[in-house]
Amino acid sequence: MANIIDFEPIGLRIPCMKGDTIFDAARKAGIPIISYCGGKTICGRCKIRIMNGNVSAISNNEKNLLSEEEITNNYRLACTMRVLSDLKIEIPPESLATIQRLQLLGKEPQLSLDPVITKYEVKLQESSLENPLADWENLHKFLEDKYGFKNLRPDISLLQNLSSKIRNENWEFSTIVRNDEVIGITKSDEDLYGIAIDIGTTKLAVYLIDLHSGKTLAIQGAMNPQIAYGEDVMSRISYAMENGVDHLRNCLLNTLNRLIQQLTGNPEKVVDVTIVGNTAMHHLFIGLPVKQLGRAPYLPAIVHSLDVKARELGLNVAKGAFIHLLPNVAGFVGADHVAMLLATEIYKASKCTIGIDIGTNTEVALSVNGDIASLSCASGPAFEGARIKHGMRAGNGAIEKVNIKNNKIDFEVIGDVAPIGICGSGILDTISQLLQNRIIDQRGRLQDHDLVSQRKANREFILVPKKNTGIEKDIVVTQNDISEIQLAKAAIRVGINILLEKCGINEEEIENMVIAGAFGTYINVESAIKIGMFPSIPLYRFTQVGNAAGIGAKLALISNEHRSIAGNIANRVRYIELTTHPKFTREFSHALQFP
């Protein structure tokens, strides 16, 4: 018999089988309990409090990951504790994933339309005993005579409906042609729409585009639902290795179909789709194996661009529509990187230009005089708030900016709420301010200071005292948090340094540094320079461009030329494997220090 779990403060009651974990029950009900380890009892972030009811005995892992105080107050980890009776549980705010602030907009270059999909007016001669042409041949002859098409072929779904449609439209309508294929017919006055999709590890961005004008009509964003199965690419890959790709693929597909439905009201109007994402997201969307991405030499199943019928992949748009998946470069440099280079036009740079998109994997490109070199750094999820004691994504309640002067701490919080944690830009600012105020030294060690407290063997900096927070405890930055940021910033800086060295360029020669992506949009570049994550070049050389990968997907949607440029970029990029570079270890340990 099912037990009932009452989730507070959401007020949701759901049935759950005895022996299930709360984490699985919440996931099935769509309750977004935070998990940075995909439910493997490693991260300790899925804390919940038992208000009443019986559960399994506390495990050793829980004892290691929870404080004594938390255990005394009935806190447990949702991913390991099992349900033994009806339960009432509380999900504390820091364990509930808020919707992340999604950076969907980005700078767009000027371009003239070069549509992949074109509409042609048709007025057929009605078939008769005197004109006994079959319907497809009748249409084909018209398109050949009037527009000069040769060897067009019909999409099978078009053919299945052609006879009834041309008669319903009284032999006068428009055909939708993509390259050498007629993919649909429509009323002459109907507009054509396309969808550009950026599948990020953390978030999804879907753009509705008018294919006639090239204008963006609407944008929808959402968290990538695969987050419930692991925060970063490697944990998704390991989930897929254990459980197959179907579940990850299906939850992603369902969310994309929902977003397209919300954007269009009628997905049948969408006649073309482009998709970008890192190589793992690309593979998971198509249903390709990802096991080989998780092991050296980290090879993709395919890097070339793909054109696949949307219906074959289960994406609900017009029946004849294709999805164009932009090319990947390598196992950890994917189509989103190619799209970023396309949108920012870094591939054209004559002066030394660095493009960087910071995420759990950070891709960095250096372009100069037509030569492009790229690599991927395992910067980890610290800037997404993971592995940081009070870290969280950039949603409501996240401290996003910090300034410390004369022991007075000023901070800004996203949304009109009390702070409940710190997001990536906030932690970056905090570390920079701690350094400037000599509260940490160059090795990142917290010093004796009024704002530093000692909790057991660990020191921590009290950023916001309990009375001013929304979580009834201090929001702190621990010594361990500082180490996590040192690891993340060192990974990024080593990537930049090794690219510079490979291209024989000094950091002063960097003329442009283009920061793409959601995190990059909100960071204080000065803070990033102060902690040594970015080279110390003048601030005016930095540009924050927003979601360039999404814009690249849009460019490829409305321009044939940009599809081929994307292919050309992917071929030109010289991929550099960072971890096997002979100087990696030395550079990395040097970059761990603060300047």
Query: For binding to ligand FES (CB under 6 A), which residues are involved?
Result: 35-37, 39, 41-46, 77, 79
Instruction: Answer for the pair 19, 87: CB distance below 8 angstroms, yes or no.
Output: no
Q: C-beta of 38: minimal distance to ligand FES in Å? A: 7
Give the DSSP H/E element, type plus range, for residue 460.
Answer: strand 458-464
Instruction: Answer for the pair 208, 261: CB distance below 8 angstroms, yes or no.
Output: no
Half-sphere exposure (Cβ direction) of 42: Cα atoms closer than 13 Å: 10
Whether residue 9 is preceded by a cis peptide bond, meaning omega within 30 degrees of 0, is yes
Q: C-beta of 266: minimal distance to ligand FES in Å? A: 39
Residue nearer to ligand FES on the CB measure, 107 or 247: 247
Whether residue 297 is preceded by a cis peptide bond, meaning omega within 30 degrees of 0, is yes
Q: C-beta of 98: minimal distance to ligand FES in Å? A: 17
Half-sphere exposure (Cβ direction) of 199: Cα atoms closer than 13 Å: 30
Q: What are the phi and psi torsion angles at 148 (to 5°)? A: 80, 15
Q: C-beta of 95: minimal distance to ligand FES in Å? A: 9
**Hey, what amino acid is at 377?**
C
Residue nearer to ligand FES on the CB measure, 42 or 99: 42
Q: 393: how many CB neighbours lie within 10 A of its CB?
A: 27
Instruction: Answer for the pair 53, 85: CB distance below 8 angstroms, yes or no.
Output: yes
Q: C-beta of 492: minimal distance to ligand FES in Å? A: 25
Distance, CA of 347 to CA of 565 (rounded, Å): 9
Of the candidates 78, 79, 85, the residue with the CA atom closest to the CA atom of residue 48: 78
Q: C-beta of 475: minimal distance to ligand FES in Å? A: 20
Residue nearer to ligand FES on the CB measure, 45 or 393: 45
In the beta sheet, which residues pair with residue 17? 2
Classify residue 395 by burial, with Cβ atoms within 10 Å: 0-12, 13-18, 19+.
buried
Q: C-beta of 309: minimal distance to ligand FES in Å? A: 37
Residue nearer to ligand FES on the CB measure, 75 or 534: 75
Instruction: Answer for the pair 185, 158: CB distance below 8 angstroms, yes or no.
Output: yes
Distance, CA of 13 to CA of 296 (rounded, Å): 45
Residue nearer to ligand FES on the CB measure, 38 or 424: 38
Residue nearer to ligand FES on the CB measure, 43 or 570: 43
Residue nearer to ligand FES on the CB measure, 43 or 197: 43
Residue nearer to ligand FES on the CB measure, 91 or 558: 91
Residue nearest to ligand FES (CB): 79
Q: C-beta of 41: minimal distance to ligand FES in Å? A: 5
